């Protein structure tokens, strides 16, 4: 067995809400085949504007609804013999050449919601219904804030590993060449699907020198909002989602918005810093293995706290996290 396989610990897919598209990328009546959670899916937007996700293979002769399927009102029509499936229930509602519809003619429908500029799907390894939710962020509907810029990437990584990066203060010095170690306030509550980290530091900004605070909120393993606060009347928000494609690949998406008075001054720079920052992590993520029992030392308390919190999102146990003697 190759060394990589020996060293790598399998990490199952986490349960939770994951983005499958930017809202603005799917218009009314549009049908998109997508692949996430190791599954093929069909995503579409009904005529009344609701995003829907179904299993794509027609129960009739197995055609893929995402390749040639057509939105008809609130249903999607199979490209092969025109059976129609309701976007919410997945039930077949119409067969043009048959009076009777077989009772079991249905495809699996996934729980979907749309907010904060993304279409979200609930994934659970045992197909349990949604167990928690996350908030709407006011910045996305505030006319004082800029229309969000978007950016996305496919990475060879795991949802947990990319998320863990945020909780790894030491790497900011070595990978991102930060001059100071990140020190912050953090409370992981294993009974909550949300946690917050805040860091404050004196910074020069286009508006002068201020004590800036980075407030990072996460809901589950796939969803993080980072707000930059401290300049009166101005702010930045970076909202990101990471979705498993399969075992070892993820799709990360970002939306960036800022108060209108910041757009010209910070908009481009902010976007450039973000993409450069993620690129610095690429090589590490792409080439690393996952360790379910990492050897941690003093100073790795954040990592240990994060790992303990992260366990709640898995159906099966995912390893131990103790600081080594």
Cβ 81 to Fe ion, closest distance in Å? 50
Residue among 281, 285, 301, 304 that touches Fe ion (CB under 5 A)? 281
Strand partners, 258: 236
Sign, CA torsion 93/96/101/104:
negative
Does 239 participate in binding ligand FES (rule CB under 6 A)? no
Stretch that binds ligand FES, among 77-85, 122-130, 203-211, 277-285 (CB under 6 A): 77-85
Cβ 81 to ligand FES, closest distance in Å? 3
Structure tokens at 211: 């004590």
Q: Considering only CA atoms, which of 320, 310, 217 is closest in space to residue 13?
A: 310
One DSSP character per residue, 81-103 reads: T--EEETTT-BEEE-TT-S---T
Give SS3 for 264.
helix
Stretch that binds Fe ion, among 15-23, 143-151, 234-242, 279-287 (CB under 5 A): 279-287
Does 81 participate in binding ligand FES (rule CB under 6 A)? yes
d(CA 236, CA 227): 6
Stretch that binds ligand FES, among 16-24, 56-64, 131-139, 201-209 (CB under 6 A): 56-64
Cβ 39 to ligand FES, closest distance in Å? 18
Does 78 participate in binding ligand FES (rule CB under 6 A)? yes
Cβ 111 to ligand FES, closest distance in Å? 24
Does 85 participate in binding ligand FES (rule CB under 6 A)? no
Kindly report the number of other CB atoms within 10 A of residue 157's CB atom.
Answer: 24
Structure tokens at 99: 């009076």
Size of the site for ligand FES (CB under 6 A): 9
Does 165 participate in binding Fe ion (rule CB under 5 A)? yes
- Check: CB of residue 242 under 8 Å from CB of residue 35: no
Q: Considering only CA atoms, which of 299, 308, 324 is closest in space to residue 187?
A: 308
**Strand 31-36 with 39-45, pairing:** antiparallel
Whose Cβ is closer to ligand FES: residue 92's or residue 266's?
Answer: 92
No. of helices (H) and no. of strands (E), the chain: 5, 17
Give SS3 for 172.
helix
Cβ 71 to ligand FES, closest distance in Å? 15
Whose Cβ is closer to ligand FES: residue 94's or residue 311's?
Answer: 94
Q: x/- string (CB under 5 A) for Fe ion, residues 231-260?
A: ------------------------------
CA 100: distance to chain centroid? 41
**Range 136-147 burial, b when 16+ CB lie within 10 A, else e:** ebebbeeeebbe
Instruction: Looking at residues 70 to 129 of the shown chain, list those that interact with Fe ion (rule: CB under 5 A).
Output: none
Whose Cβ is closer to ligand FES: residue 53's or residue 278's?
Answer: 53
Does 297 participate in binding ligand FES (rule CB under 6 A)? no
Residues making contact with ligand FES (CB under 6 A)? 58, 60-63, 78, 80-81, 83
């Amino acid at each position: 067995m190759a060394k990589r396989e020996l060293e790598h610990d399998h990490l199952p897919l986490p349960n939770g809400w994951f983005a499958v598209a930017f809202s603005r990328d799917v218009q009314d009546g549009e049908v998109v085949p997508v692949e996430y959670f190791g599954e093929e899916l069909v995503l579409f937007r009904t005529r009344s504007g609701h995003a829907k996700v179904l299993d794509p293979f027609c129960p009739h002769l197995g055609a893929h609804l995402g390749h040639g399927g057509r939105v008809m009102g609130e249903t999607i029509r199979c490209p092969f013999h025109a059976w129609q499936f309701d976007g919410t229930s997945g039930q077949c509602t119409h067969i043009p050449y048959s009076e009777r519809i077989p009772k079991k003619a249905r495809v699996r429908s996934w729980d979907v919601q749309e907010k904060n500029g993304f279409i979200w799907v609930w994934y659970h390894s045992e197909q349990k219904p949604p167990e928690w939710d996350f908030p709407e962020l006011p910045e996305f509907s505030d006319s004082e804030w800029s229309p969000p810029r978007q950016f996305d990437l496919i990475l060879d990584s795991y949802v947990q590993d990319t998320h863990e990066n945020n909780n790894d203060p030491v790497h900011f010095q070595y990978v991102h060449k930060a001059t100071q170690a990140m020190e912050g306030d953090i409370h992981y509550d294993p009974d909550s699907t949300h946690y917050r980290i805040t860091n404050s530091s004196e910074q020069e900004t286009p508006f002068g020198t201020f004590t800036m605070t980075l407030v990072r909120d996460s809901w589950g393993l796939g969803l993080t909002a980072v707000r930059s606060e401290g300049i009166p009347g101005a702010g930045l928000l970076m909202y990101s989602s990471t979705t498993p494609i399969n075992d070892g690949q993820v799709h990360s998406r970002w939306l960036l918005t800022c108060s209108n008075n910041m757009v010209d001054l910070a908009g481009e720079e902010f976007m450039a810093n973000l993409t450069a920052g993620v690129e610095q992590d690429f090589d590490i993520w792409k080439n690393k293995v996952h360790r379910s029992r990492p050897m941690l030392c003093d100073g790795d308390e954040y990592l240990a706290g994060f790992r303990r919190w992260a366990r709640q999102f898995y159906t099966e146990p995912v390893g131990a996290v103790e600081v080594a003697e």
